[in-house]
Amino acid sequence: METHVTDAPQLYLMTPAGAQASTLSPMLGEVLDRFPVACLRIRGGAEEDELGRLADLAREIAHARDVAVVIDDHVRLAQRHGLDGVHLTDGARGVRDARKELGADAIVGAFCGVSRHDGINAGEAGADYVSFGPVGDTALGRGGPAPLDLFQWWSEMIEIPVVAEGAITRELITGLSPITDFIAIGAEIWAEKDPAKALEGLWG
């Protein structure tokens, strides 16, 4: 998670929210074999036991392919299951505590909605990357969508890598590519019958 904006953003893959480890396993392996994923993020939404199983599965599949793994919010699960870090979904608030718990080498990312102010605070608190979104049209965001000029400003003014996420389309990828380090894709592909094929249609 160390690059800063080039013309080709890296792929940041998210598991489906509430995923079952047994269902996800074959699909995840196929996607990671076919696409150069920079980071895999385990979404929340499942019971802790199932998240633990998912963490073990994701770590095994991803680490075999040199892909880092982070998990939404669960610092203890990240520690317990040997993950590379956490993705905090509430902006800058938990960044310092997560860094203290996980140490300097862990990945700590922060989702900051559409708030430039939150993003700056997260960076100052020690986040390795900041994520903004949703960038596409969806009812799931808080105050979205995140405008392209937010990413433009960030890429020009701030050194910390930036991730775009939420309702990603091929058209948005084209617009985001020169101004974003990572593009996060998850729900856009997992609802499809063939997730790898769906990702190919988006990512090319």
Q: What is the CATH classification number for the domain harbouring 143?
A: 3.20.20.70
Token pair for residue 107? Answer: 């990945």
Q: How far apart are CA 188 and CA 198, in angstroms?
A: 8
Is residue 83, in this structure, part of any structural domain at all?
A: yes
Is residue 1, in this structure, part of any structural domain at all?
A: no
Strand bridging mode 37-42 / 68-72: parallel
Q: What is the pLDDT along the chain (204 residues), one digit of tens a residue?
A: 666 665 689 999 999 988 889 899 999 999 999 999 999 999 998 899 999 999 999 999 999 999 999 999 999 999 999 999 999 999 999 999 999 999 999 999 999 999 999 999 999 999 999 999 999 987 665 667 999 999 999 999 999 999 999 999 999 999 999 999 999 999 999 989 999 999 999 998
Is residue 4, in this structure, part of any structural domain at all?
A: no
What type of residue is 11? L
User: Which domain covers residue 70, as residue numbers?
Assistant: 10-203
Q: How far apart are CA 202 and CA 48, in angstroms?
A: 32
Q: How far apart are CA 160 and CA 154, in angstroms?
A: 8
**Closest C-alpha to 75, from 109, 50, 45, 46:** 109
Q: How far apart are CA 129 and CA 87, in angstroms?
A: 9
Whether this prediction's pTM lies above 0.85 is answered by yes
